[in-house]
Structure 1
Amino acid sequence: MGARRGPADPGRRERIMAATERILLKDGIAGLSHRAVAREAGVPLGSTTYYFATLDDLLHAAIRAQSERYARRLHAWGERLGEVSPAGLVEALADLVETQLRDNRAELVLSFELSAAAMRRPELREVALLYAETEAKVLGAHTDEQTARALSHVLDGLLLRSLAGAAPPSRAAVTASLAALLTPRGA
């Protein structure tokens, strides 16, 4: 039996989105094409362009969906922290780095790939910054705005170097970097 059409196939758009996300996570931005998405979703090629006229439309929709899921996870993480001391925040952030590298590696790679692509493609900048904006907002509930942004930058650096390097930094190296921002000298 072939693929369902029209009103008899109300989940087609969602299958196209899910297929796009799988391709992006597996093959990155370079692997994204309407043909690849149609094949992965099991839909006719015309369906992808019906719902998403351009590859950028498809890319934006998929990245926005992933960013929103990440935002929900990060907000839930921040809410579970409650009131936390600077030392407690250092440990919680070190746990977050370890969890991200272990459980969300493909998403991290894609987010950094998207950031790199946005350097040459201004139309991707807004969606590329969603991850960092979410981090700063969640961290801002546990520290001041300037420190939250600095922590977000340090987290990005730690994660990027961990992904690009042969081995992730030690927990001590992660906590030392974070503590340098959160713990006053001599404390």
Structure 2
Amino acid sequence: MNATPVRTTPRRRDPEARRREILVAASELVVENGAASLTHRAVAARAGVPLGSTTQHFASIDDIREAALQLLADEIDESLARMELYIDHVRENLDPLIDEFCHFLSDPRAINADIALMTTGTTDPHLRALALRWTDRLIELLSRTLGTARATAIATYYDGVTIHAGLHEQPLDRETIKRTVQALMAMPDPAP
């Protein structure tokens, strides 16, 4: 019996796909263990790539950390983009905004990603702007309708509720969140 040798074609290298695999693995590790836990070895193991790939595609572990946090911030921004659809009408109908925020709070990955961004932003001034991006944008959007003081109070409350959800492994109930946001919307204007 004649066996025809099977010719295998070497796998084409796709540097961008490999970089993406490393980045996704790093973002998963950040969500699970925090940004400070990243190591080249842990990222390579999670991505299923050779250890040298992490240094081939990223100059340092700090570069991997920053890129992973950027990826997570982009994911969180998607939630804000959905909220933006309702912000201009928040005085007439608060429910869609609360629903979107509660949807965000029901996603453990989103909560852990946001907390990782917050904690990294408090310890790494270089990444502070990235950590503040969501809150600053929410304040900017809400300020159009509610004024800066109320918008800041609501955004600060949202940050606290996010940390609460992470610590308690479940969010506050929708009605508690809605009542608090309504109270913050009704607070008096600060003196000029």
Partner of 1:149: helix, strand, or coil?
helix
5 Å matches for 1:158-177? Answer: 158-165=161-168, 168-177=171-180
Q: 1:123 to 1:86 in 2, by over 3 A?
A: same
Distance 1:57 1:16 in 2: 12
1:30 Cα offset (Å): 4.0
Once residues 57 and 47 of structure 2 are traced to their aligned partners in structure 1, the CA distance between those partners, rounded to angstroms, is 13
- Deviation of the 1:153 alpha carbon: 0.5
C-alpha contact (below 8 Å) 1:16/1:38 kept by paired residues: yes
Question: 25, 28, 31: which one pairs with 1:25?
Answer: 31
Of 115, 118, 139, the match for 1:115: 118
RMSD: 2.6
| Equivalent pair of 1:87/1:183 in contact (CA under 8 Å) | no
- The question of whether the paired residues in 2 share the 8 Å contact of 1:86 and 1:183 is answered with no
CA contact (8 A) 2:87 2:141 kept: no
**Aligned in 2, Cα 1:128/1:85: closer, same or farther, shift over 3 Å?**
closer
Structure 1: unaligned runs, 5 residues or longer: none
User: How far off is 1:136 after superposition?
Assistant: 2.2
Q: What is the 5 A alignment of 1:71-150?
A: 71-79=77-85, 81=86, 83-86=88-91, 88-89=93-94, 91-103=95-107, 105-150=108-153
Q: Give unpaired runs (5+ residues) of structure 2.
A: 1-7
TM, length-normalised to structure 2: 0.78
The percentage of counterpart residues that share the same residue type is 28
Residue type of the partner of 1:20? A
Deviation digits for residues 39-87 of structure 1, max 9, x if unmatched? 22222212111222222211111111221232233113312x2742425
* Correspondence for 2:61 among 45, 55, 59: 55
Larger radius of gyration: 2
Cα distance change on mapping 1:129 and 1:49 into 2, 3 Å? same
State how far apart, in whole Å, the 1-side matches of 2:151 and 2:99 are: 17
Please tell me the residue identity of whatever aligns with 2:153.
Answer: A
For these two proteins, the number of residue pairs brought into alignment is 179
